Copies of this chain bind each other. A is one copy, B any other.
């Protein structure tokens, strides 16, 4: 199997990730922060080491500002709904995933207004359109760092400066970039950063991260046992307990920590370099094929390692099915949970066949994928 569905979840993970999950489960599988015995303390230590690793990777000063969630969707819901109240206005883009669009649409019920800024056909955004969308009651700008459909990189540095200028909260969805691109929350003026643990960070599924800037008020949406201030009937205010009720995914976080340590050791420059080279090679080869239409910027410098294509008017699901059955190549067809993005790039009906490259892919994988696409084009 050639796995080119890394934008959904990276696979495989570094061996040390598997080992670390198993180590926790078998060796010290206690509940962190709930008791004082040796195993519980060891479990708690692992969670804290996880916060430290996340902080090192993202330029976060205080590890206690790192909240573990079950996935990026939860982190996005928490950040978006914890910031906005009735009467507020939020700005986002037409390249967002449903994990951004759906919470924003749901908030219309309680009187939160939104503007979805229209992007170009390659997924890029004209930043002046964001500035024009700012109103008196605008509270938040939330946007992806890179589209999960076309890979298009968004100008988060410039938008961060804009948010700062207008004193707006700035939230970034780094689902397709964290662990591959260098992200420094301070330098980029990011107030809220949502990340899945199981994509670029190379951790297990069931993990996610929300970074919350120190001093930013974010309302929690779950209450429960925190292992801290147990005597109180209201949710404790302290970070990160306020947002982490109930038993965490300790084995998942143990694995995620090792994934991040692996990235810190390799360096994002090396990881990015590898993915960029394969992405450019793939784009260069497939755009030569007559029936193939490549969506997005078609430039690995301007996009993450996510490439959407279509073959003539063929249904994207049909192409993905053939790739899987006849060539043992795993890709993802359809709308990729981002319908507005597909409207933007003009593929709402057809969907796209998405190839997403990970650090463990080789040039041979890409050559075989290109060859399969050529084959299919000849047969169709």
Report the stretch among A69-77, A131-139, A152-160 that lies at the interface.
A69-77
B-contacting residues, A57-98, CB 8 Å = 70-74, 76-77, 97-98
Contact of A247 among B35, B106, B198, B328 (CB under 8 A): B198
In the complex, are the beta carbons of A231 and B339 less than 8 A apart? yes
B-contacting residues, A292-341, CB 8 Å = 317, 320-321, 323-324, 328-340
Report the stretch among A20-28, A161-169, A270-278, A361-369 that lies at the interface.
A20-28
A110 to chain B, nearest CB (A): 11
Also in contact, A330 and B35, with CB within 8 A (given A103-B223, A251-B206): yes
* Chain B residue with Cβ nearest A249: B206
In the complex, are the beta carbons of A252 and B18 less than 8 A apart? no
Also in contact, A223 and B70, with CB within 8 A (given A249-B205, A340-B233): no
Chain B residues near A321 (CB, 8 Å)? 36
B-contacting residues, A77-128, CB 8 Å = 77, 97-99, 101-103, 105-106
Contact of A206 among B5, B8, B70, B223 (CB under 8 A): B70
* Chain B residue with Cβ nearest A9: B31
In the complex, are the beta carbons of B205 and A105 less than 8 A apart? no
Chain B residues near A233 (CB, 8 Å)? 98, 101-102, 105, 339-340
A273 to chain B, nearest CB (A): 24
A255 to B250, CA, bound (A): 14
Question: For chain A, what secondary structure do more than half of its interface residues adopt (helix, strand, loop), or is it mixed?
Answer: loop
Interface size grouping (class) on chain A: 35 or more
A129 is an interface residue with CB less than 8 A from chain B: no
Chain B residues near A198 (CB, 8 Å)? 247
In the complex, are the beta carbons of B36 and A25 less than 8 A apart? no
A205 to chain B, nearest CB (A): 5
In the complex, are the beta carbons of B30 and A227 less than 8 A apart? no
In the complex, are the beta carbons of B251 and A205 less than 8 A apart? yes
Q: Which of A30, A36, A71, A206 has the most CB of B within 10 A?
A: A206
In the complex, are the beta carbons of B204 and A25 less than 8 A apart? yes
A282 is an interface residue with CB less than 8 A from chain B: no
In the complex, are the beta carbons of A252 and B13 less than 8 A apart? no
13 more contacts with CB within 8 A, not counting A73-B224, A224-B337, A232-B339, are A1-B38, A3-B39, A9-B29, A18-B22, A70-B246, A71-B246, A71-B248, A102-B223, A196-B246, A206-B250, A206-B251, A208-B246, A231-B348
Name 10 interchain pairs, CB-CB below 8 A, sorted by A: A8-B34, A11-B39, A70-B249, A73-B247, A196-B246, A206-B250, A230-B339, A231-B335, A231-B339, A251-B252
Which 4 pairs show the lowest CB-CB distances between chains A and B?
Answer: A206-B249, A73-B246, A225-B337, A102-B223
